[in-house]
A and B are shown apart, each in its own frame.
Chain A
Amino acid sequence: MKDPVDVLIIGAGASGAAVAWSLAETKMHILCLEQGGWMNPAEYPSTGRDWEAKFYGEWSSSPNVRGRPEDYPINDDNSPIKVVNYNAVGGSTVMYTAHWPRLHPSDFKVKTLDGVADDWPIDYDALTPFFEENDRMMGTSGLSGDPLSPLTHPPMPQQPMGLSGAIIGKAMNELGWHWWPSDTTVATMDYEGRARCINLGHCTPACAQGAKSSTDITYWPHAIRAGVELRTHCRVREITTDENGMATGVVYYDRDGVEQFQPAHVVIIACNGVGTPRLLLNSRSDRFPNGLANSSGLVGKNLMFHPYAQIYGYVEQPTDSNRAPPTCLWSKEWYDTDLSRGFVRGFGVQFVRGAGPVFEAVVSEQKGILPWGEDHHRVFRKLNGHRLGFSAICEDLPEEHNCVTLDPVLKDSHGIPAPKINYTISENSRKMMDYALARGREFLETAGATDICVNSPIPWGGWHLLGTARMGTDPSRSVVNEWGRTHDVKNLFIVDGSIFVTSGGVNPTSTIQALALYIADQMKQRLANLFD
């Protein structure tokens, strides 16, 4: 029998790292269990000549393709958008674009403003100090003062504009549309032990330079120095409870595959929008026959992905291709509701600088614009190094039929039932995507692009896993309360993207981490009566 810990955190990704670091100052015994291991930057794709080929195998963004021992399979056959993630210390911050917008203040009040979905039980102001703290910890770069985004104070200047940025900016100016340098977690100067970005290229699948922030190189070193224990290659099967309905700890498999029980006084789940409902649904018991913390029946429901509507083309001038981080500029021109567009809510845009030669060849051949035979070489030279892209991150509204359940057959390497995704793109989202594509086409044509291609949705674009254990004050309509504690189990907390009430139209990691810090702060303020 292991000694009980005060706090047990499940998952060492974006939110698990932030909550561990924040709680460390309490000097409680904090343990984090992570199914993956520590990453080795010397093995990252950009260290090899075959860097692009790796994206199709061991460094695929899809856990189903990657199939590392640390990954678990996901049945996403019933979804046009496939789940992508990463399982390691750092979680999906190891493999992300580092694009760093925040939810807008209006995103927390969509029912009041637009009559759809639900308002959050907290507002933007409650998160403001934690956004700021998180930006310092993750190390952000950007340009303060965007008139159409919440005010931020990035500690580092924005990324260079590059060749692509200049073409994008000129076209957007010609159309009179908003654009701005993105806040990113790419270090543009040496920062807190991290070296500045040297433009290794497509850094989504991990940064060998350490310039792109991931929690294995930001939060975790601080948390561990402060006394947090991080146990890797430990996959949690279920959370156990006692006769009083309190969590007692977790059953997990250690790195040798041996079943272990770890008792804990407080359990915090940080497995994001697919892993968290999977764990809760796998934690069935006589007292909780429908899964843990599921008296509302909403665990796993209201899955929101952000359907991406992407359009790209080829300009005559050279673009940055693979010689820069993929994202550098955003637009909030269409972020807010304008019902004359035919849909409610809106979308953010992240512009894409270009692609590497292998990716360009493979994708263009699939799209039918790169021929086989004699003309292949001429066409490839016209395409390669000339791509420019426009990706709309469309706000997905919560719908209960979009959900994560347990697959009756599929299991992971430990025999734990795997998640199954059921998801359809709503009519509202479809209209939004079509509208975004039309604006993207205008943008590309203004930039002089030809050979325009569309990915709508981006099939392997399920990065943002939100809403499956939503936050709220009504226990019949939500899974956690306004400070992250589950309504049903008073020593069980959730701090990841699953507690989002609505999704906004931006990449969510900044907001996920601000929420995790906010919940940690709430816990610290209530330590004396945390379970009341």
Chain B
Amino acid sequence: MSEQMTLTPRQRDDLRTVAAMIVPASDEYKVPGADDPAIQADMLATLGRDTKLVAAALDHLARLAGEPLAGLDAARRDAVAQEFRKHGGAAAATLVRVVLQCYYRDDRVLRSLGLELRAPFPQGHILPDGDWSLLDPVKSRGGTLRRAP
């Protein structure tokens, strides 16, 4: 049997639902939720080597829910999510990581956090040199290196 390379429609629906449970939209911080279409598209486009584990995690979620996650009432959905996170192992951890790594590179989210929308290279960052007089107590305390015979 060939390895699953994409998610099924049901898996995509559940991914969208669980992503919104992890990171919901916020008016206060003016950010989308992780179920935002652009963020979901990023997840699907970059799943790559994580596809197998994410699919396994979503299958586990589906078994726990018994029906599409979105169809459950809020209390039941939360109970399923807690069970999933507690006992989902590496697959659940991978799914959550995929959601978060795509969420925290979205332009709107980074802007809200006050982060620049760019790769680190080539601009880099400026770092304050600091006040090295902080070292004075260490220098004045001194010390000796343990002697070797």
CB-CB < 8 A to B1: which residues of A? none
Q: Is the CB of A362 within 8 A of B130?
A: no
Q: Is the CB of B125 within 8 A of A52?
A: no
Q: Is the CB of A166 within 8 A of B130?
A: yes
Q: Is the CB of A106 within 8 A of B124?
A: no
A358–B143 alpha-carbon span in the complex (Å): 41
How many whole Å from B127's CB to the nearest CB in chain A? 4
CB-CB < 8 A to A149: which residues of B? 145
How many whole Å from A300's CB to the nearest CB in chain B? 29
Q: Is the CB of A160 within 8 A of B128?
A: yes
How many whole Å from B20's CB to the nearest CB in chain A? 9
Q: Give the A-B contact count at a CB cut-off of 8 A.
A: 172
Q: Is the CB of A49 within 8 A of B119?
A: yes
Q: Which of A49, A106, A148 contacts B118 (CB 8 A)?
A: A49
Q: Is the CB of A372 within 8 A of B21?
A: yes
A336–B148 alpha-carbon span in the complex (Å): 12
Q: Is the CB of A372 within 8 A of B81?
A: yes
- Determine the interface band of chain A, counting residues with CB < 8 A from chain B: 35 or more
A381–B125 alpha-carbon span in the complex (Å): 20
A49-B118, A106-B148 are known contacts. Are A324 and B125 too (CB-CB below 8 A)? yes
Q: Is the CB of B149 within 8 A of A113?
A: yes
Q: Is A221 an interface residue (CB 8 A)?
A: no
Q: Is B41 an interface residue (CB 8 A)?
A: no
What's the dominant secondary structure at chain A's contact region?
loop
Q: Is B101 an interface residue (CB 8 A)?
A: yes
A123–B147 alpha-carbon span in the complex (Å): 12
Q: Is the CB of A320 within 8 A of B121?
A: no
User: Which residue of chain A is the closest to B94 with respect to CB atoms?
Assistant: A56
Q: Is B2 an interface residue (CB 8 A)?
A: no
What's the dominant secondary structure at chain B's contact region?
loop
A53–B147 alpha-carbon span in the complex (Å): 46
CB-CB < 8 A to A376: which residues of B? 22-24
User: Which residue of chain B is the closest to A353 with respect to CB atoms?
Assistant: B127
Q: Is B10 an interface residue (CB 8 A)?
A: no
Q: Is the CB of B124 within 8 A of A377?
A: no
A163–B97 alpha-carbon span in the complex (Å): 28
Q: Which of B97, B146, B147 contacts A56 (CB 8 A)?
A: B97
Q: Is A124 an interface residue (CB 8 A)?
A: yes
Q: Is B100 an interface residue (CB 8 A)?
A: yes
Q: Is the CB of A336 within 8 A of B146?
A: yes
Q: Is B9 an interface residue (CB 8 A)?
A: no
A364–B117 alpha-carbon span in the complex (Å): 23
Q: Is A426 an interface residue (CB 8 A)?
A: no
A112-B149, A166-B130 are known contacts. Are A53 and B101 too (CB-CB below 8 A)? yes
CB-CB < 8 A to B75: which residues of A? none
Q: Is the CB of B125 within 8 A of A199?
A: yes
* Interface segment, one of B55-63, B64-72, B134-142: B134-142
CB neighbors of B among A160-178 (8 A):
160-163, 165-166, 169-170, 172-173, 176, 178
CB-CB < 8 A to B127: which residues of A? 159-160, 162-163, 199, 320, 323-324
A320–B130 alpha-carbon span in the complex (Å): 12
A172–B119 alpha-carbon span in the complex (Å): 34
Q: Is the CB of B100 within 8 A of A113?
A: no
Q: What is the 8 Å Cβ interface bit string for chain A, positions 479-514, against chain B (1 contact, 0 not)?
A: 000000000000000000000000000000000000
Given contacts A105-B145, A173-B134, A358-B105, 10 further A-B contacts (CB under 8 A): A161-B129, A163-B128, A166-B128, A176-B141, A200-B125, A201-B120, A362-B97, A365-B22, A366-B96, A372-B21
Residues of B within 8 A of A (CB): 21-24, 26, 28-29, 31, 46, 48-50, 81, 85, 93, 96-97, 100-105, 110, 113, 115, 117-132, 134-135, 137-139, 141-149
A sample of 16 inter-chain contacts (CB < 8 A) reads A44-B121, A56-B97, A104-B145, A112-B149, A113-B148, A145-B139, A147-B144, A161-B131, A173-B134, A200-B121, A209-B124, A323-B125, A336-B146, A357-B113, A358-B104, A362-B100
7 shortest interchain CB distances as A-B pairs: A161-B130, A198-B124, A323-B125, A105-B148, A169-B134, A147-B143, A199-B125
